[in-house]
Amino acid sequence: MTQDVRKIKTERDLQVAFIQLLAMKGFRQITVADICEASLTSRSTFYAHYLDKYDLLDQMVAHYSAIFANRVDMRFDQIIAGDIDDLVAGLSADMAENRWAVQVLFGVHEPEADLQANFRTMLLKKWQNFIAEQVLQTDAPTDLIASMGTSVQMTLIEWVISHDKATLDGVTGVVDTIRKAVLLHLDTKA
């Protein structure tokens, strides 16, 4: 068990240092030596946990993507049902512990590790599946409606991670108005 705790602490230290570095400079400018120096670990320790900085990024993106995937159905259902107060409060709670890391990782766009793209892809699939089950009330392309719905949710997520809880008042009315405009083109009870 002691070894597991040390492993967890070391990985946490490496990840925190990595996020701090990403907040200051671009991913491509960061070296393993930078991460080791910032985390007060040796290169051999780093390589005992990760293959390279790309592996570290991949694992962090996969971790936060998995957290989002566990919540995406519930948060999607809330926006469709119009439970915007619960949606905003839930997103804020979901992001509370990892707000800074998610915000920083949203700025990293590597081909195999792009957290923002992962979130967007999950939401787009939800919208596409939802729209496929509805009766269209418009000639508008379904991919346009799905993209618009995805954009509403992504904008809300990005806004929530960059603002503190105290500034959430008034957000629900705006989101609900836009949500209704998107759903107006579908046969739902918006």
d(CA 112, CA 96): 26
**This model's pTM is above 0.85:** yes
pLDDT in tens, 129-162: 999 988 888 888 899 999 999 999 999 899 888 8
Domain ranges of the chain: 1-50, 54-183
CATH architecture assignment, domain 1-50: Orthogonal Bundle (1.10)
Contacts with 51 (C-beta within 8 Å, 6 or more apart), sequence order: none
Write out 118-130 in H/E/C secondary structure.
Answer: HHHHHHHHHHHHH
pLDDT (tens digit per residue) in 69-119: 999 999 999 988 888 888 888 888 888 889 999 999 999 999 999 999 999
How many other C-beta atoms are found inside a 10 Å radius of the C-beta of residue 76? Answer: 20
The predicted-structure confidence for 165-174, as pLDDT tens digits, reads as follows: 656 667 888 8
HSE, CB side, 13 Å, CA atoms: give it for residue 148. 17
